[in-house]
Amino acid sequence: MKKVLIISILSAAVFMLMSCRAQAQNHKIDDNTQWAVVNVSDAFMRAEPRYGSECVSQTRMGTLVQVLERKGYWARIKTPEPYEGWVNELALAPTRELSPEEQKETKLYGATLAPMSRKEAEEYLKAPKYICIQNIPEQNLLMGNMVKTDTPAQGMVDFRKWAEAEAAEADETKIDQIIALAKTYLGCPYMWAGMSPGHFDCSGLTGYCYFMNGILLPRDASQQVQCGIEVPFEQMQKGDLVFFGDTSVGHVAICIGDHKIIHASQIVRINSLIPGEPDYYGRNILHIRRIIGHIGEGSAQFKPMWLKDSPDYFAKGR
């Protein structure tokens, strides 16, 4: 179960090298002791440990992830949403170079992932970080990426100050900013499992636009519908999430006012929910959920990794 959370405390870091004991080529890892940080702008998470496997989601630079399993040069990870999938281990930090003997034994060459302990992960969470509030192409950084650096580039801001400012923002302002951000992606093609700038599926778009305004949603539409409170169609307002499907949730959109929505459906586009209008979107509405003003409400019990100094995420059995 998941709960919406204003991300007003700590997140993750990147670009760290440290020495850890070598892992076997196929190795189950204790989820209480093995951690890593995403160190590429957007890592593709796959259903199986191979490039030809289906992409199930993405995760962004700076995100602290739990390392669940290793296989060859792949790692199965759990993200804060939470979501699980396989990524190339060099999309994660820290890394270390394999010795010639290890390369010969494992048939892996060059660097390999050297997972962090719980203590190191907690230290990661406490460390100062910067978040990108705009894309920085020359450094291959995307909006929403987080880095630990002493020399932030233009377009980065102190994460804690940013999160505090977002948490304090008035609801109406926050709603307008969510909608404005979504509109910047109008025309972008739909991408299954996408949740990075310009590469969105439906819940990837809603989750990303909320995240960049200080609110962390669960990953999928079927999980996001558990957040907030239910409202009737007649009372729908800007910023509400609209969920569609026949008997179960299969699609989500953001209301932008006047019973219009913006959503990733074939492309990111705007449609009307009023029958007879030229841009009418006639898919069956199952739920309308109000998130803004109702953070933490709903049946979802979502606790991500960046919860103060001793995160529940570190508790045994998670």
For residue 292, give the nearest of 171, 188, 126 by alpha carbon: 171
Residue 211 tokens, joined: 């995240």
Model pLDDT for residues 180-215, shown as the tens digit of each residue: 999 999 999 999 999 999 899 999 999 999 999 988
On the 0-12 / 13-18 / 19+ scale of CB atoms within 10 A, 19 is: exposed
Q: What is the pLDDT of residue 234?
A: 94
Task: With cut-offs at 50, 70 and 90, classify the pLDDT of residue 32.
Answer: low
For residue 166, give the nearest of 211, 228, 217 by alpha carbon: 211
Task: With cut-offs at 50, 70 and 90, classify the pLDDT of residue 10.
Answer: very low
Model pLDDT for residues 73-88, shown as the tens digit of each residue: 899 999 988 899 999 9
Task: With cut-offs at 50, 70 and 90, classify the pLDDT of residue 245.
Answer: very high
Model pLDDT for residues 36-56, shown as the tens digit of each residue: 999 999 999 999 999 999 999
Interatomic CA distance for residues 296 and 210, integer angstroms = 14
Does the pLDDT of residue 27 top 90, yes or no?
no
Query: Which of 6-15, 21-30, 124-133 is modeled with the greatest confidence?
Result: 124-133
Does pTM surpass 0.75? yes
All structural domains of the chain: 10-118 (2.30.30.40), 169-290 (3.90.1720.10)
Name the one residue in this structure whose structure tokens are 């997972």: 115
Q: Which residues of 61-91 are buried (b: 16+ CB within 10 A; e: fewer)?
A: bbbbbbbbbbbebbbbbbbbbbbbbbbbbbb
For residue 19, give the nearest of 104, 89, 120 by alpha carbon: 120
Q: What is the pLDDT of residue 81?
A: 83
Residue 137 tokens, joined: 């192409």
